Amino acid sequence: MAGLSPSLLISDNWPGYSLDLFTYPQHYYGDLEYVLIPHGIIVDRTERLAKDIMQDIGDNDIVVLCVLKGGYKFCADLVEHIKNLSRNSERFISMKVDFVRLKSYHVNLVLLAFLWLKIATDLVLMVFVICLKTDYGFEIPDLFVVGYALDYNEHFRDLNHICVINDHGKAKYRV
């Protein structure tokens, strides 16, 4: 088993990309510090993860648990890449997708509890916990990031890039 590619490490001293290099919704002008991860890099990394998953699962089916709301875009993109790879290969991979809606501070607790329940009740051959910002996606510094469905009080989900929010943006959208 080859295993999933390691995360793409973004170091603590990475200055990010200037906002002037990218397009983003005008209503967020003045609210962001910089682009941490451009959309194209997110797409490419997600496609690589899909290839790794397809290689590692063999002939097994896939059950995907999408954690809403922040994970919907990454999950949808990952599932679409896996489906495309399955359609264009000699083997068909059956995939079931389920959803759970959690507050960010409950994600780890509930996700691990769900996985243990699935392991205890089903014959599970492999379990991968894949998040955009973790061991197999991107390892980023301890920053407040928004975009690509990650929000701050329900704002910024419509950004294609992952960006660092500035103090003005935090104050503007504080509840």
Query: What does the pLDDT read at residue 111?
Result: 58
Query: What does the pLDDT read at residue 135?
Result: 53
Query: What does the pLDDT read at residue 119?
Result: 54
106, two tokens: 């409950």
CA distances from 143 to 32, 44, 86, 102, 140 (A): 12, 22, 36, 21, 8
Indicate the pLDDT class of residue 59, thresholds 50, 70 and 90.
Answer: confident
CA distances from 71 to 22, 99, 132 (A): 23, 10, 8
Residue 38 pLDDT exceeds 90? yes
What tens digit of pLDDT does each residue of 99-150 get? 877 766 555 555 576 655 555 555 555 555 555 555 567 888 899 999 999 9
What tens digit of pLDDT does each residue of 106-120 get? 555 555 766 555 555
pTM above 0.95, yes or no: no
Q: In this structure, how many other beta carbons lie within 10 angstroms of the beta carbon of residue 146?
A: 26
- State mean pLDDT over 32-37: 97
Choosing among 3.40.50.2020, 3.90.320.10, 3.10.105.10, 3.40.1160.10, the CATH entry for 8-172 is: 3.40.50.2020
User: Checking DSSP bridges between strand 8-9 and strand 138-139, what pairing results, if any?
Assistant: parallel
